[in-house]
Chains A and B, each alone.
Chain A
């Protein structure tokens, strides 16, 4: 058993995990149509390879990866592409983005696919391209293309793969459920990822509030041989933050502005591990996932296996949604999830939870009161920041102090806002301040660039002027030199002589005629 390290801060909100009955997977069914955003990941949107009216089979490629940091998109069932146009997508800004609407034919016919027979004999590059072709992106929340993350092996020496089954946010039990129902798949997926990364050590991290998942993982790790180390640690939010988990498991901190790979570590989500296994062993593209549908506004909360692109309103109907006053619809968990404006948006590769609480359950926050600098936020901050000071400087728009107090290291976990007795939406202030700093940096880059251009132009003009003057001076010098060398041969005198000679000869001719 490895040692567990303590992290600073953290909070203990009500877990509410039992509400969604972890460990059982329910079927979300097939909706009449699926809405598939072309950007379900971090990076460039996928580029379409079908057109409206095309009939597609399940598993068929709909859009290809566009460039390095991108993933392809596959049809989650058979049907007809009926529209390709901007539609609302799950995003905090409630924006529209290019989506493909697939009308399901209900027959759910699939293409044939096949994977590698034995991944142990394949090269990492082959396996990475399998994972890339299957459209796997991080399923924990950020949605970074998995293949790109695995390519860290080419740049840095790696030692450790961490499978992050912490799932520290209240309510969410999607990973918990997956660990209970497919521990073997996670372990095999982890071994494939470790094989690709060339690392010896695999750490499977599970918080101690998931005894059933922990047990399943330990059994699976034992059954598959010794290189997997299942680790457990006390429940605390946000232990599952990538940086926090790395400190808990290794005692090391990811340097600011750096990546876990700088410490020789790569983190993956259990769902991603299974998706990678499916991609490598079966050639199966990523077209569905487990989503926790929870909250007391649902009659049948639970973990549902849903096809990507399933509209949330379909899921709400399946789970028995009973709307109440001040109803909120949250994509993600109660701490970091964002509220959606409409239930018409679909679930995507990164949707681990849809939370529909009642007003009693998660009351609408009252108006903020004055900050009394009680410091509870600083006690709770897992990044050891001083949120009360950041709040002050964010309100004053004091960029210098914000940077001096390391605003950029805020992971926006929401622990400070959660504890704030004055109900100040601290995280929102930090998001706005980060946006402001980013904007002013872009602005600075832009103005630097135009200043550089202006200066370059000035320099060029000056250079040209100088060059012209130099040329003129050189010509004058040459002429003077010539004049000096000719001595008596004065050009003016010569010209007069020539004119005179011409005149003389002219008068001679007239005299002759």
Chain B
């Protein structure tokens, strides 16, 4: 009889790309749950609407590129992109905002460069930055968290999404905005005089960050990605914040804890900068990549002009990733310099 000829290895680990993507989606659930608790069903609706749109766009793009949509849609990668983008968008965003973001992310961020695995930039962040630059007003209207404003119900959420003109929600400046605009108040006074500040950072935001941290730690435990980039980013962000803390004066940039638990910090550390395609590829490279994102994140937050800095920090470092790779190649077996070489 004739036997099937396949090259070695003949076995395979049980993990495949679709499962990696599914694990990432699963790990966003705690964060999404907390976002929904504090800000209402807006984020959930964003994710569902964005996901359907993204799948449709991906299928069209694959067909136009002569690929097999049946097969490639099953890798779940486009759902990861759309979910991450929609988590970052303000809840109760109008449909056209989400659609523009998804279109930019999937087409401009991914397929223009050749699809999965070939994108030099993080697609979700491409979508986010396009929106932030084009629609700054809509992008900075964050719903007030539970306890500080009324949380919209499902009907209102649907109205906000599809008939934005007739929706009127309660929005509030986020703690990061408030801190940047602070003029003259000591940090303690700012925290006690402004209702948006909670125990360590912003009301709601601190729990959102803790939830994304939990999801991220689970992914590291599952071996989906390594700890290098997230840890490096959190360390440098903390260090920068410690340097800029200025004992909580009116000029203070905020405490390390405030920065760790504000805005998109944990979401970014575990779900955005860990994107393997657009990040650095060796573990040493990931340390450098994460550390630089942390520094940039702090600088843009404190000295920049945008509500949050993650997307810019990530895109700038995406540019640098191949350069980082060039200089962080691990020492191959048998290439360690020996004592004789040193002499």
Closest B residue, CB atoms, query A404: B329
Chain B residues near A226 (CB, 8 Å)? none
- Is B77 engaged at the interface, CB distance under 8 Å to the other chain? yes
Closest A residue, CB atoms, query B72: A369
- Is A372 engaged at the interface, CB distance under 8 Å to the other chain? yes
Among residues 307 to 325 in chain B, which have CB atoms less than 8 Å away from a CB atom of chain A? 325
Q: Are A253 and B9 in contact (CB under 8 A)?
A: no
Q: Are B331 and A417 in contact (CB under 8 A)?
A: no
The CA-CA distance from A72 to B298 in the complex, in Å, is: 72
Q: How many residues of A contact B (CB 8 A)?
A: 71
Q: Are B7 and A256 in contact (CB under 8 A)?
A: no
- Is B10 engaged at the interface, CB distance under 8 Å to the other chain? yes
Q: Are A372 and B276 in contact (CB under 8 A)?
A: yes
Q: Is the interface of B mostly helix, strand, loop or mixed?
A: loop
Q: Are A419 and B7 in contact (CB under 8 A)?
A: no
The CA-CA distance from A258 to B6 in the complex, in Å, is: 31
The CA-CA distance from A355 to B20 in the complex, in Å, is: 30
Chain B residues near A125 (CB, 8 Å)? none
Chain A residues near B9 (CB, 8 Å)? 334-336, 414, 417-418, 427
- Is B155 engaged at the interface, CB distance under 8 Å to the other chain? no
In the complex where A362-B10, A375-B281, A386-B282 touch, is A329 in contact with B334 (Cβ < 8 A)?
Answer: no
Q: Are A341 and B5 in contact (CB under 8 A)?
A: yes
* Minimum distance in angstroms from B324 CB to a CB of chain A: 13
The CA-CA distance from A205 to B4 in the complex, in Å, is: 35
- Is B13 engaged at the interface, CB distance under 8 Å to the other chain? yes
Among residues 115 to 143 in chain B, which have CB atoms less than 8 Å away from a CB atom of chain A? 115-118
Q: Are B11 and A326 in contact (CB under 8 A)?
A: no
The CA-CA distance from A462 to B75 in the complex, in Å, is: 68
Closest A residue, CB atoms, query B328: A386
Q: Are A409 and B332 in contact (CB under 8 A)?
A: yes
Chain B residues near A367 (CB, 8 Å)? 71
User: Which stretch (A111-119, A267-275, A376-384) binds chain B?
Assistant: A376-384
- Is B303 engaged at the interface, CB distance under 8 Å to the other chain? no
* Minimum distance in angstroms from A50 CB to a CB of chain B: 32
- Is B3 engaged at the interface, CB distance under 8 Å to the other chain? yes
Q: Mark A72-104, 1 if CB is under 8 A from B, else 0.
A: 000000000000000000001010000000000
Q: Are A372 and B8 in contact (CB under 8 A)?
A: no
The contact sample of 28 A-B pairs, CB cut-off 8 A, is A247-B333, A254-B333, A256-B332, A328-B3, A328-B10, A329-B3, A335-B9, A336-B8, A343-B1, A343-B3, A357-B10, A365-B6, A370-B118, A372-B20, A372-B277, A373-B277, A374-B20, A374-B276, A375-B276, A375-B281, A375-B283, A376-B223, A386-B329, A414-B8, A418-B11, A418-B13, A420-B12, A427-B7
Chain A interface (Cβ within 8 Å of chain B)? Answer: 8, 11, 13-14, 92, 94, 170, 243, 247, 253-258, 323, 326-330, 332, 334-343, 355, 357, 362-365, 367, 369-376, 378-379, 382-386, 388-389, 405-406, 409, 414, 417-423, 425, 427-428, 431
Starting from the known contacts A335-B9, A375-B226, A375-B282, 10 additional A-B residue pairs (CB-CB under 8 Å) come to A253-B333, A339-B5, A362-B11, A365-B6, A373-B277, A384-B332, A386-B330, A409-B333, A409-B334, A427-B9
Chain B interface (Cβ within 8 Å of chain A)? Answer: 1-13, 15-17, 19-20, 71-72, 75, 77, 115-118, 223, 225-226, 276-277, 279, 281-283, 325, 329-336, 338
Across the A-B interface, the 6 shortest Cβ-Cβ residue pairs:
A414-B9, A370-B117, A256-B334, A383-B333, A406-B332, A329-B3
